[in-house]
Homo-oligomer: A and B are copies of this chain.
Amino acid sequence: MKTIILTIDDIRHIVNKVSLNGLMDEMIRRLTESFATYQPANYVCPPRAGFTYSEPHTGLVEWMPIMESGEQATIKVVSYHPANPDLHQLPTILATTSAYDTANGHLIGIADSTFLTAIRTGAASAVASRLLAKPGGGIVGLIGAGAQAITQLHALTRVMDVEKVLVFDIDPKTSNSFPERSGFMGIPVKTYAQSELDQLVQTADILCTATSNDVGAGAVFNDVVSKSWLHVNAVGSDFPGKTEVPLSFLQRSVVVPDFPEQAMKEGECQQIDPEQVGPSLVELVKRPLFHQYLQTTTTVFDSTGWALEDQIALNMMMDYAADLKIGHFLQIEGNSADPKDPFQFLKSKPKTIHQNGSLNGIKNGVVNGRYATQPS
């Protein structure tokens, strides 16, 4: 059986077909639907694990596995190398996600997930903000104005009216390039200097923190007097010791984790006692009216990034690929007619001889239904 590979060109092609707004709307819709019907007994989601190192540069490679019982296993491998933009002209985060059929272990598909990670992280904040922020929208503050800030803002614009956006980044170049990078959304941007950060926090109705704050570096903003309904999407904390939100703000707010077990190890929740942790995003989506009172208090969405979101994002792209007849199909795995003979496949004639730049018998294929694979 073949494996579908969605390259970055394939993903570009899909987004160009369905539009960025259409994609974000669909991601928000699928997340909401999956959270509303989520049954913990149907999933196994071990904590992510990985390698961290400081040579040759500070970095990590980690894997985030999840299994939907009787359906599929999904593993995202994500790496984080803060020196990438400067040294390699590469994104800080590189990621690919793979899906496996639990009926037989077949690798169904693999796709780039750097872009999908940003999309699903934005979409999750939109789902949380729709339920936790002041209804109707308002002013969005962004602390950290890199790639994640763009998708945070974009996702928010899809579920509320964003009047304007207030931007701060420790690197003024990043602040200054934000208006151009976010221009397609048509939201007025005001950039703030470090000395004006308290003002930004005081003015915002919704705040998104998406920084590369160092482990142990403390909060990225001061707990000044904010609007009494301020909602914070805390996106950057994803590692033991790495947090963004002041403890005092967490303690006077309701903290909603995406994936509680993980958030207590790696998110803002690690700063507070387990008894202080609020309802999870899933609980919120399942009972929105019950939790409506949270819109009038200060709240924090503790977004550490959940493998379920990655599975939903990958399946969405594979569905689009099927509809649009996009993607590369390769017979990666062995498929011996005699499973007891590891060398049997050597006797088959290769369909094409591929050498010296000739093409390799790769074809696009129509996939029928939900990320189905072609029979080989």
What is A's interface to B at a CB cutoff of 8 Å?
1, 5-13, 15-16, 20, 44, 46, 49, 51, 53, 55-57, 59, 61, 63, 65, 67, 69-70, 73, 75, 77-81, 84-85, 87-96, 98, 100, 102-107, 110-112, 114-115, 118-119, 145-148, 150-151, 174, 177, 181, 184, 324-326, 328, 330-346, 348, 350-365
Contact = CB atoms under 8 A, between A and B. Distances in A.
Nearest to A17: B355
Contact of A15 (B44, B103, B346): B346
A90 B70 contact: no
Given A8-B333, A80-B105, A331-B9, A70 B56 contact: yes
A84 B338 CA distance: 11
A174 B11 CA distance: 46
Given A46-B49, A364-B355, A334 B104 contact: no
Closest 8 CB pairs of A and B: A79-B105, A85-B339, A118-B342, A114-B334, A91-B339, A51-B67, A147-B342, A94-B105
B9 A361 contact: yes
A65 B75 CA distance: 13
Nearest to A173: B340
Contacts of A1: 90
B330 A5 contact: yes
Most buried by B among A78, A84, A111, A332: A332
A181 B325 contact: no
Given A174-B340, A364-B355, A364-B356, A335 B8 contact: yes
A93 B107 CA distance: 12
B10 A343 contact: no
B354 A359 contact: no
B339 A59 contact: no
Given A63-B63, A331-B7, A359-B363, A90 B55 contact: no
Most buried by B among A59, A330, A340: A340
Contacts of A12: 345-346, 348, 350
Contacts of A336: 91
Contacts of A148: 342
Contacts of A81: 103-105
A51 B63 CA distance: 14
A10 B345 contact: no
A59 B105 contact: yes
Contacts of A44: 51
26 contacts: A8-B332, A8-B333, A8-B345, A9-B351, A11-B334, A12-B348, A13-B354, A51-B102, A56-B103, A57-B104, A63-B63, A63-B65, A75-B77, A81-B103, A85-B339, A89-B337, A90-B339, A94-B105, A94-B106, A94-B107, A150-B342, A326-B355, A355-B364, A356-B364, A358-B364, A362-B362
Contacts of A70: 53, 55-56
Contact of A69 (B53, B63, B103, B343): B53
A332 B51 contact: no
A150 B343 contact: yes
Contacts of A65: 49, 51, 63
Given A12-B350, A102-B56, A104-B81, A356 B147 contact: no
Nearest to A148: B342
